[in-house]
Structure 1
Amino acid sequence: MRLLPSTSKTAARAALSLLFLAACEAPRSSPVDARPPEVVLEDAGPEPIIDAGPDVEPKREIGPFEIPFLGKRTVFFARPSERAKGHRLIANLHGVCNPPGYACGYWVNAASHVGFLVCPTGDATCGKAAYDAPTWSGSYEKMGDDLEKAIVVVDATHPSEITREGAILTGFSRGAYAAARIALAHPGRWPYLILNEADVPLEGAALRKAGVRAVAMIAGERSGQVAGERATVAKLVAQGYPARLWVMPGAGHHYSGNIDEIMAEAMAWLLER
């Protein structure tokens, strides 16, 4: 397992890929490795007795981290911070040519206040070069299978820490379409959904039957998805189903600079339902 730097090659390549594909500016903020420098004490003879006062628990490192997954693929994940109320699972599926370093990396802080963030890398790439952004080539069912395998891999590094109760499933673009299909196919497994930049057709009755308690939808202000998402949320609300839309200011098919705050609000709203 390795700790990703605040500006990793993956995130940089992801940003370049998005600039090329969407002709729009990606957010400029990125996760920061705030780990303090290691202090090494020299051997100065007999160990002195020092009154250090009350014991203080060291700050919990949230990451993000990256560990091997299937083949050359990896899982991007972050741990809960001291402020988290539990170790609830938050899983994310990235989109086309849109790696976890982008799809998850820009809201690690928000996720760390809620639980464990787990983001598998897709099974294909957008080109032949090793540095090309990952994408998905399989079905939504296959994406769901890969997600479950990624959760097992992360759970193995933190045995018995991740809890599935009240789990949140999120996705960006194609990942959001997959997330909705996966939640409907596995009743009770994913009680909360966050669908970003995807005009996914939804019905309140089907969501209730699958045990999905509430849905948050997010779209860019200048995106082609926002009108459809707005209509879907209005329909769900009219059906008496808990749904809400967040609009990312100035964004097209990419995150706005305040995505961390939006995700924090969306998760807080969901967990009140």
Structure 2
Amino acid sequence: MRLRPSASNAAASFALSLSVLAACEAPRSSPVDASLPEVTIEDAGAEVIVDAAPDVEPKREIGPFEMPFLGKRTVFFARPSERAKGHRLIANLHGVCNPPGYACGYWVNAASRVGFLVCPTGDATCGKAAYDAPTWSGSYEKMGDDLEKAIAVVDTAHPGEISREGAILTGFSRGAYAAARIAQAHPGRFPYLILNEADVKLDGSALRKAGVRAVAMIAGERSGQVAGERATVAKLVAQGYPAKLWIMPGAGHHYSENIDQIMAEAMTWLLER
């Protein structure tokens, strides 16, 4: 996928070039003393060194993008602006009737500063029309299998850019319940969890056994999940396990306007543990 500069950028660049050339032109009214001999660079013994333009690759778009995945399904992803090897994987599972364009799309800026975001589309839809929101019909185990296939598809398109070292698994609603189950079923695969809008019951000893280093939980201020999440975080902290709760102001079972900031804070906190 190659990104081309827009026409407006090209025009601006051309105008800038003309202004630079004009600024470098010798003044037309400069006096010349004909009695002085003409001195050339060769006469002066000077060495001319022309510096080559630095070979710096411009910043690339972070996305979000979509690509084919398992039949008519797609995988949604956002990449860091720096083209480099080994960006940390950030995997996300959306919820019921809740597309990845929402579950992931509202915090791609935060994700791009931390790693490479991958969000598969669910295996079913909430209606019969092609444009109906995607959802999940399979088990948590099946959701985990689909997630791994989505990661593999994006990794093939961007070879070497995704690293599983210190991977973060996030989920919204049903996706968060699945994320907690997947992380514990595959020890060491996802050392960090962010669970959004899901009253998931967790235990510190089980999380440690699964190699999960820390858990961030997020709930809407007006959500039916907030009380349960608050209790779970309090339990984990009492067990000496790293856990923290973020509240989305004014939100019910949906994101608050500052979700990008909250996700950035949550990921920063996790990676310091």
TM, length-normalised to structure 2? 0.81
User: How far, CA to CA, are the matches of 1:267 and 1:174 in structure 2?
Assistant: 20
Is 1:37 paired with 2:6? yes
Unaligned runs of 5+ in 2: 15-49
2:126 corresponds to which letter in structure 1? C
Query: Unpaired segments of 5 or more residues in structure 1?
Result: 4-34, 43-49
Identity of aligned residues (%): 89
Shift of the 2–53 alpha-carbon distance from structure 1 to 2, 3 Å rule, reads closer
Q: Aligned ranges for residues 1-273 of structure 1 at < 5 Å?
A: 36-38=5-7, 39=10, 53-82=53-82, 87-273=87-273
Which residue identity lines up with residue 147 of structure 1 in the other structure?
L
Residue 128 of structure 2 aligns to a residue whose secondary structure is coil
Per-residue deviation, 1:90? 0.2
C-alpha distance in structure 1 between counterparts of 2:5 and 2:222, whole Å = 40
Q: Partner letter of residue 98 of structure 2?
A: N
Query: Aligned pairs, how many?
Result: 235
In 2, Cα distance between equivalents of 1:57 and 1:110: 22
| Offset at residue 56 of structure 1 (A) | 3.9
- Identify if the C-alpha distance between structure 1 residues 64 and 216 changes in structure 2 by more than 3 Å, giving closer, same or farther: same
Greater RCO (Cα-Cα under 8 Å, separation 6 or more): 1
CA contact (8 A) 1:68 1:74 kept: yes
Instruction: Check whether the contact 2:85–2:162 (CA below 8 A) recurs between aligned residues.
Output: no
- Look up the SS of the partner of 1:89 in the other structure: strand
Q: Do 1:84 and 1:112's aligned partners in 2 also have CA atoms closer than 8 Å? A: no
**SS of aligned partner of 1:144:** helix
Q: What's the C-alpha RMSD, in Å, of the aligned pairs?
A: 2.3
Runs of 4+ in 1 over 3 A off after TM superposition: 38-42, 50-56, 82-86
Gap change, CA 1:2 and 1:81, over 3 Å in 2: closer
Distance in structure 1 (CA, Å) of the matches to 2:190 and 2:85 = 19
Report if the CA contact (8 A) 1:123-1:137 is conserved. yes
Give the superposition deviation at 1:108: 0.3
Q: Deviations over 1:11-59 (max 9, x none)?
A: xxxxxxxxxxxxxxxxxxxxxxxx85154999xxxxxxx9885444311
- Kindly indicate whether the alpha-carbon contact (under 8 Å) linking 1:221 and 1:248 is maintained by their aligned counterparts in 2: yes
State how far apart, in whole Å, the 1-side matches of 2:2 and 2:135 are: 22
SS of alignment partner, residue 106 of structure 1? helix
* Post-superposition offset of 1:222: 0.3
Instruction: Tell me how far 1:83 sits from its aligned partner.
Output: 10
1:84–1:268 CA distance, 2 compared to 1 (3 A): farther
SS in 1 for 2:106: helix
